[in-house]
Amino acid sequence: MAKKVILEAGRTFSEFSLLTDYTSKDCNLNSINLKTNLGDLKLGNPFLSAAMTSVTGYEMALALGKEGGLGVLPARLSIREQVEIINQIKGYEMGFVEDPVSVRDNATIDEAVRLVEKHGHSKIPVTDRNNVFLGLFNFDKYLESNETPAENIMTVITKEGELPVTNNENITVDEAKKELQKNNYLVVLDDLNRLVKIAFKKDVDNIVVGAAISTHKGWKKRVKECDKAGADIFVIDTSDAYNEFTAKVIKEYNAMNLGKPICAGNVITYEGAKFLMENGADVIKVGMSSGSICTTQREKATGRAPMTALLDVEKARTEYYKNTGKYVSIIIDGGVSDAGNMIIALSVADAVMMGGYFNHFFEAEGEKYDENMQLTTHEPDIKYIATWGEGSARARNLDRYGHVARKTFFAEGEEGTVQNWGRLKPKLKQDIRKIKAALSNTGCMNLKDYHKKAIIELMSPYTQNIVGDTHDMKVKE
């Protein structure tokens, strides 16, 4: 007889709905932030791209890092490859945005909003027909105004005189960096006030990046070299971390005194999480069998519904905090695929790791295909992007799944394709706005508030049919 049989079904994110709470007038999309911490590492937003070879390489880590998230470089890469990418990210030099996307002064607000949605930039310069700079459309400010989309753009822009502008067309990167200590951006014009380029402070900030390691031979060398290159966090990436090897790695890692957080995972139970915390993990990663490409449940009937796993790990974290005063951050990993999932997951977790979601973007590592499934690098033609699991026959990440030799290998992940969603920035920003809107509905200014105040409620399958989507109508194609 099994030690325990749980007859209550495990739960996933989309089975829950978030309740509202009182919202004060200063709790809006502009004032809410999604900052989070992983141990001592501060992130601008709570998103991690999965340590998967189909997802995270230089382009993904850079694009996500620039938005304040964290790319985790797969342990399947060689040490040299990981180090090279970290070097590139840390050496990334701010450049000017030449030829910035702009609108004419006769455009409507709606036209500018469409550009914001398409490109993800929240500031769009406005020019006259001779490209003379008139001011800046600031999407965040517009959200606070009462203007309607059909109005002329000039009704909402910040005028040229009120903005950080220089007429030194030949300004160097170093000179611009000095200016950016005072303001978040700098508009560069020529001596006739025509728009030339813009520099953004965000591009000067330190971009953070993580390195996944295994619990197998060579992990220490990897840590040493990636640490030297500037990795900000190390992530032990194993499909089941409730074991002796992981505990040993955490202890030895901590003895190295690098002053950088160690994340260990994955676990799915209270006991597994407690074990990792007691062995010194600063961050715990949760999830098994819920990944979009994952076949673990099918192959060996092992894993857990992600929300249930998360709630159990949270219980262990709260207890550990009470006993020791150490707050261990939790990353939920696997099965989070849209803003709704993120909103429910973040009511408990400190951050969300996503593979499938990020795989949809141009910056993902997977090969790109056109509509006839022919390989292409021509961006407008890309319809599909290749995806594969770390446990798939293609990646054969033997270390992650504890296979000692190729002989014991069986696949626990699929290979396939996902739709191309274009560049990461516009979609991620859109989803960030959805998350902030949900936080605003609950009257929360940040994730810390949200953890304290969020109330989520389980829906019955009947309710899901009514609340979960449209009903009794046909959606226009």
Nearest distance from residue 74's CB to ligand IMP, in Å?
9
Residues 6 or more apart whose CB falls under 8 angstroms from that of 471 comprise 465
The residue among 76 and 436 lying less far from ligand IMP, judged by its C-beta, is 76
- In the Cβ-directed half-sphere of 50, how many Cα atoms lie within 13 Å? 31
Nearest distance from residue 236's CB to ligand IMP, in Å?
12
Angle, in degrees to the nearest 10, between helices 79-90 and 58-66: 40
The residue among 138 and 296 lying less far from ligand IMP, judged by its C-beta, is 296
Nearest distance from residue 436's CB to ligand IMP, in Å?
21
Nearest distance from residue 72's CB to ligand IMP, in Å?
8
The residue among 397 and 442 lying less far from ligand IMP, judged by its C-beta, is 397
The residue among 18 and 354 lying less far from ligand IMP, judged by its C-beta, is 354
Interacting residue ranges for ligand IMP, rule: CB under 6 A: 50, 52, 266, 287, 291-294, 296, 333-336, 353-357, 389-392, 412-413
Nearest distance from residue 16's CB to ligand IMP, in Å?
17
Q: Other CB atoms closer than 10 Å to residue 404's CB: what's the count?
A: 10
Nearest distance from residue 21's CB to ligand IMP, in Å?
29
**What CA–CA distance (Å, rounded) separates 460 from 476?**
27
The residue among 44 and 334 lying less far from ligand IMP, judged by its C-beta, is 334
Question: Any idea which residue has 């059909």 for tokens?
Answer: 150
The residue among 199 and 268 lying less far from ligand IMP, judged by its C-beta, is 268
**What CA–CA distance (Å, rounded) separates 225 from 222?**
5
Q: If we measure between CA atoms, which residue out of 210, 230, 206 comes closest to residue 93?
A: 206
Take residue 140 and report the two structure tokens written for it: 């965040």
The residue among 111 and 299 lying less far from ligand IMP, judged by its C-beta, is 299
Put the strands of the sheet holding 415-419 in their side by side order.
368-369, 384-388, 415-419
The residue among 115 and 305 lying less far from ligand IMP, judged by its C-beta, is 305
Nearest distance from residue 336's CB to ligand IMP, in Å?
6
Question: Any idea which residue has 């290998």 for tokens?
Answer: 409
**What CA–CA distance (Å, rounded) separates 442 from 437?**
9
**What CA–CA distance (Å, rounded) separates 191 from 65?**
35
Please report the sign of the dihedral spanned by the C-alpha atoms of residue 286, residue 292, residue 293, residue 295: positive
Please report the sign of the dihedral spanned by the C-alpha atoms of residue 212, residue 218, residue 219, residue 222: negative
Nearest distance from residue 359's CB to ligand IMP, in Å?
7
Q: Please, what's the b/e burial string for 348-359 (b: 16 or more CB within 10 A of its CB; e: otherwise)?
A: bbbbbbbbbbbb
The residue among 107 and 344 lying less far from ligand IMP, judged by its C-beta, is 344
Take residue 356 and report the two structure tokens written for it: 């499938």
The residue among 44 and 291 lying less far from ligand IMP, judged by its C-beta, is 291
The residue among 37 and 239 lying less far from ligand IMP, judged by its C-beta, is 239
Nearest distance from residue 333's CB to ligand IMP, in Å?
5
Residues 6 or more apart whose CB falls under 8 angstroms from that of 7 comprise none
